[in-house]
């Protein structure tokens, strides 16, 4: 498919994992893509030799850095049609008890995961509005926004992102820009590299479709929402979770004895 022929996209946090998967999917469908990542070296290594990809160092926590990344997309490719807000603050180690959860972690999650998307959306909206009706923002959320899977600050930030998706959709619609969100379940990315046994157990006992997700699964959903195939969809959150939230396998096992 060439749904994005002639399109320009910008993906935040695109050096690895879901972000990298999204970049590759959009490029495969014809887009030219700017990868905005705080780890510029990793992003360049990930896409060395990939035609149509440009890399810019960007800290989504800094307004000037965000504005510079959007300007870069306009300078090198002439505009912007699609923004994918994928960058988030990663959590290290086990989640502490709520009363021991440091306030700094909450600030990091809100500043990067939520406000990073706010900053980029604000900076990009004029260009997206000038995209002739094909402007689109896709935010990467999480099933943590909808149910308790641990991580107070991360979950709260992702839930706030879903609310922001809805309110921005209403604001942007008159300007011809759609805003949607994808909520992934467990995705096999670098953060799970040392926990393969846990991934296998999740696939076997938790996920109705019998496996965890891949970056390509999420990228496919992002590409759909960003494309004109979703031209009458805005303000929605699409679960891409292998049935995790729809089916309670443990409940069924107990009831069935």
Furthest-apart CA atoms within the chain: distance in Å: 63
Catalytic annotation, residues: 154, 158
Name 215's Cβ contacts closer than 8 Å, sequence gap at least 6.
17, 18, 20, 21, 22, 187, 188, 189
């Amino acid at each position: 498919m060439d749904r994005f022929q002639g399109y320009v996209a910008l993906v935040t946090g695109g050096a690895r994992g879901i972000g990298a998967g999204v970049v590759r999917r959009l490029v495969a469908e014809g887009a030219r893509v700017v990868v905005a990542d705080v780890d510029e070296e990793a992003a360049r290594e990930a896409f060395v030799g990939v035609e149509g990809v440009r890399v810019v160092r960007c800290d989504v926590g800094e307004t000037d850095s965000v504005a510079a990344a959007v300007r870069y997309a306009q300078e090198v490719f002439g505009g912007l049609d699609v923004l994918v807000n994928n960058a988030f603050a990663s959590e290290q180690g086990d989640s502490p008890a709520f009363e021991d959860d440091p306030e700094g972690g909450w600030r990091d999650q809100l500043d990067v995961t939520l406000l990073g998307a706010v900053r980029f959306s604000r900076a990009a909206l004029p260009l997206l509005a000038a995209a002739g009706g094909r402007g689109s923002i896709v935010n990467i959320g999480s099933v943590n926004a909808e149910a308790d899977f641990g991580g107070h600050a991360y979950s709260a930030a992702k839930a706030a992102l879903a609310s922001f998706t809805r309110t921005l959709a209403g604001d942007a619609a008159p300007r011809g820009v759609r805003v949607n969100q994808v909520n992934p379940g467990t995705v096999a990315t670098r953060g799970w590299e040392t926990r393969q046994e846990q991934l296998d157990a999740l696939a076997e006992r938790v996920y109705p479709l019998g496996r965890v997700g891949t970056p390509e699964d999420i990228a496919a959903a992002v590409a759909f929402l960003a494309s004109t195939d979703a031209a009458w969809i805005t303000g929605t959150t699409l679960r891409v979770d292998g049935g995790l939230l729809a089916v309670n396998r443990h409940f069924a096992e107990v009831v069935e004895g």
